[in-house]
Structure 1
Amino acid sequence: MAEDKDDPTFPGEEPENASSPESADGNGGGEGADDFTVDDILGAAQSADAAAADDTDAVADRVEALESQLLTDLKRLQAEYANYRRRTEEQREIEIERAKGAAAKGLIPVLDDLDRAEKHGDLGEGTPFAAIAEKVRAVVERMGVEAYGAAGEAFDPQQHEAIFQQPTPGATEATILEVVETGYRLGSVELRPAKVVVAVPAE
């Protein structure tokens, strides 16, 4: 078959005015449906900045809460430690007094002997026994031992042990008439109550 010389196309060539699929829908060479504008990019950047700022504020709030909790825990621990030290110190003082009291109790019979010797005139000034008595009493005094109970004092059942009650004319209240054994204490530790004869009002 002879070729048509009037046909401007050749076999395998597309006509110049033929429409491509891209040009047919009007989008060929133009902006696609998925392209972003500058405003879109700026808006996305601003959204990202806002989200980052919110995250930063949340972290800052969390850190502040943790710092507050740590400070509260530290104050509580300091208070507990202060109370522990106070209780330990108080217990230590009590144990020291008890230890001293145990040692002082061993000296009470000696003090009783010295009192009886003094009443019988065996501790005359300048005698060897008087010098020994003075040294023993000085040691007891340095330990903090106090003697109590004297005739004429008001009777206190918390401190005195009444071994006899003597109705006495003119007495208006119970008072110590005679001390049979002197009482001794060391701080808050009662070493021995005073044994006394009590004068009570006569009926």
Structure 2
Amino acid sequence: MTEKPRAADPGAAGSAPGGSAGGEQGAGEEPRVVIRDKRKIGKTGDRTSAAAAAADAAADVPAEGLVEETEVVVDEIEAEAPISGPPVVDAPAEPTEESAQPEAPLGAELEAVRSELDERTRDLQRVTAEYANYRKRVDRDRGLVQEQATGAVLTALLPILDDLDRAREHGDLVGGFGSVAEQLITTLGKLGLAAFGEQGDPFDPTRHEAVAHQTSADVTEPTCVQVMRRGYQLGDRLLRPAMVAVADPE
């Protein structure tokens, strides 16, 4: 069986020009380093094992007068297979300033809520104090209005009381008329009406109205020696001063 001629080996062909190039270099030049990758040679489908060996042998034999080339063989580096198993989970990174920044708006919002709460609390306290003062003022005004109304009614009844005093001095306040007069005086006393002004009381210009003055060796200070009309007061409020005659010491 006739063997077909094989195709020329590119590797072997490439070595010859390399040798020629090496021959053109001078003898004093540094040797050229040739790097071959055996993976390519071993994986080429067009070459046979014999042709590859012959090509390598021819390439290793230096030509006459040429500087021997140093061959550096790069071994085939097998890719590392991935390690089977569960994926490695990285440990959580420590919080940094950038990661803590999203909490800043929350802190600002919380501070705003606290400020608003304090403001509403102050408003509530102020309204409560104002309402308490309002109630006190209303109660005071109500009491004052009631006292004024009662004082107005009692002031209108004072002339009747003056007539009863004169009737008592003359001895006319007896019988049923005297009983009615006592009941009226008792009822007015329950409303807060109080009479003042008796003979021998010290003279008080704020409560007594002096209509006559005289001197006397029997007194050591200005004294009411005669009461012409009794005075009345409602609580601490003066309804009418007493009309008196005053004796000054000599």
Same fold (TM over 0.5): yes
**How many angstroms apart in 2 are the aligned matches of 1:188 and 1:99?**
15
**How many angstroms apart in 2 are the aligned matches of 1:108 and 1:136?**
12
Per-residue deviation, 1:112: 0.6
Which amino acid in 2 is paired with 1:114?
Answer: L
**How many angstroms apart in 1 are the aligned matches of 2:236 and 2:148?**
9
**Aligned residue number for residue 179 of structure 2:** 131
- Mapping for residues 26-105 of structure 1, pairs under 5 Å: 47=98, 49-105=99-155
Which amino acid in 2 is paired with 1:156?
Answer: D
The Cα RMSD (Å) is 2.3
Per-residue deviation, 1:84: 1.4
In terms of Rg, which structure is larger? 2
Instruction: Tell me, yes or no, if structure 1 residue 161 matches structure 2 residue 205.
Output: no
Per-residue deviation, 1:154: 1.2
Per-residue deviation, 1:197: 0.8
> Identity of counterpart residues, as a percentage?
40
Instruction: Tell me, yes or no, if structure 1 residue 193 matches structure 2 residue 245.
Output: no
Per-residue deviation, 1:180: 0.8
Secondary structure of the corresponding residue to residue 150 of structure 1: coil
Per-residue deviation, 1:46: 7.5
Gapped regions of structure 1 (runs ≥ 5):
1-38
Q: Deviations over 1:56-82 (max 9, x none)?
A: 110111111111111111111111111
Per-residue deviation, 1:45: 9.8
CA contact (8 A) 1:97 1:187 kept: no
Q: Deviations over 1:126-174 (max 9, x none)?
A: x121111112112211211010111111111111111111211132211
**Aligned residue number for residue 165 of structure 2:** 115
CA contact (8 A) 1:175 1:198 kept: yes
The verdict on how the C-alpha distance between 1:121 and 1:60 changes in structure 2, with shifts beyond 3 A counting, is same
Gapped regions of structure 2 (runs ≥ 5):
1-89
**How many angstroms apart in 1 are the aligned matches of 2:193 and 2:95?**
88
Q: Give TM-score scaled by structure 2 length.
A: 0.60
Q: Give TM-score scaled by structure 1 length.
A: 0.73
Instruction: Tell me, yes or no, if structure 1 residue 177 matches structure 2 residue 229.
Output: no
CA contact (8 A) 1:98 1:189 kept: no
Greater CA deviation, 112-121 or 78-87? 78-87
Which amino acid in 1 is paired with 2:106?
Answer: T
**How many angstroms apart in 1 are the aligned matches of 2:117 and 2:95?**
35
Secondary structure of the corresponding residue to residue 103 of structure 1: helix
